[in-house]
């Protein structure tokens, strides 16, 4: 096993539904440790950087609009193989396809845009996590 730190973003739908604490409890129940946590409003610049892989797509303005509906909560979460394990806990990106018992299956949007309103973003690799953590946390905001 490998000790890793992942970025989790609680998206505006998680904040609006008041499920952040419940989801965070699931992460903690898995033995993961919080190394950093904060609430922030996302600027156009940070969203363009974070979503650079889709920033030129015609649907990006709707993604940006959604991610700016409310502040998000950024979480630096540490644990053994945390990146893969968190993604398993979340379930598929499309909440409509997520099984009951997964975070997206239990709390994701089943009626609207289930691929966007899916509770959390989570890093998908060690390399992505390193980049994303630097994007959302300044030096000194992640603790040992």
What share of the chain has pLDDT > 70, as a percent?
100
In this prediction the pTM is 0.95
What is the tens place of the pLDDT at every residue in 54-78? 999 999 999 999 999 999 999 999 9
Mean pLDDT of 40-45: 98
Q: What domains are defined for the chain?
A: 3-136 (3.30.70.141)
Q: Is the pLDDT at 1 greater than 80, yes or no?
A: no
pLDDT value for 106: 98
Count, residues in the chain: 144
List, as one string, the DSSP characters of 1-56: --EEEEEEEE-HHHHHTT-HHHHHHHHHHTT-EEEEEEEEPPPHHHHHHHTTTTTT
What CA–CA distance (Å, rounded) separates 110 from 93? 12
50 is catalytic: no
Q: Which of 116, 121, 133, 137 is catalytic?
A: 121
List, as one string, the DSSP characters of 79-119: EETHHHHHHHHH--SSGGGPPBTBHHHHHS-SSS-TTTSSS
Sheet with 72-80: strands ordered across = 33-40, 72-80, 3-10, 120-122
Mean pLDDT of 100-107: 98
- Here the tokens at position 63 are 């993604």
What CA–CA distance (Å, rounded) separates 111 from 139? 39
What is the tens place of the pLDDT at every residue in 110-129? 888 888 999 999 999 999 99
> What b/e string do you get for 51-80 counting C-beta neighbours within 10 Å, with b at 16 or more?
beeeeeeeeeeebbebbeebebbbbbbbbe
Stretch (H or E) spanning 76: strand 72-80
What CA–CA distance (Å, rounded) separates 64 from 77? 24
């Amino acid at each position: 096993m490998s000790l890793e730190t992942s970025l989790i973003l609680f998206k505006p739908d998680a904040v609006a539904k008041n499920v952040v604490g419940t989801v965070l409890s699931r992460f903690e129940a898995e033995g993961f440790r919080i190394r950093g946590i904060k609430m922030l409003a996302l600027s156009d610049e940070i969203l363009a950087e974070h979503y650079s892989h889709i920033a030129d797509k015609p649907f990006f303005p709707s993604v940006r609009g959604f991610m700016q509906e409310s502040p998000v909560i950024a979480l630096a979460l540490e644990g053994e193989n945390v990146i893969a394990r968190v993604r398993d806990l979340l379930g598929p990106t499309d909440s409509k396809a997520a099984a009951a018992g997964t975070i997206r299956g239990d709390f994701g949007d089943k009626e609207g845009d289930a691929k966007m309103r899916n509770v959390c973003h989570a890093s998908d690799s060690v390399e992505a996590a390193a980049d994303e953590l630097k994007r959302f946390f300044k030096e000194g905001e992640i603790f040992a």
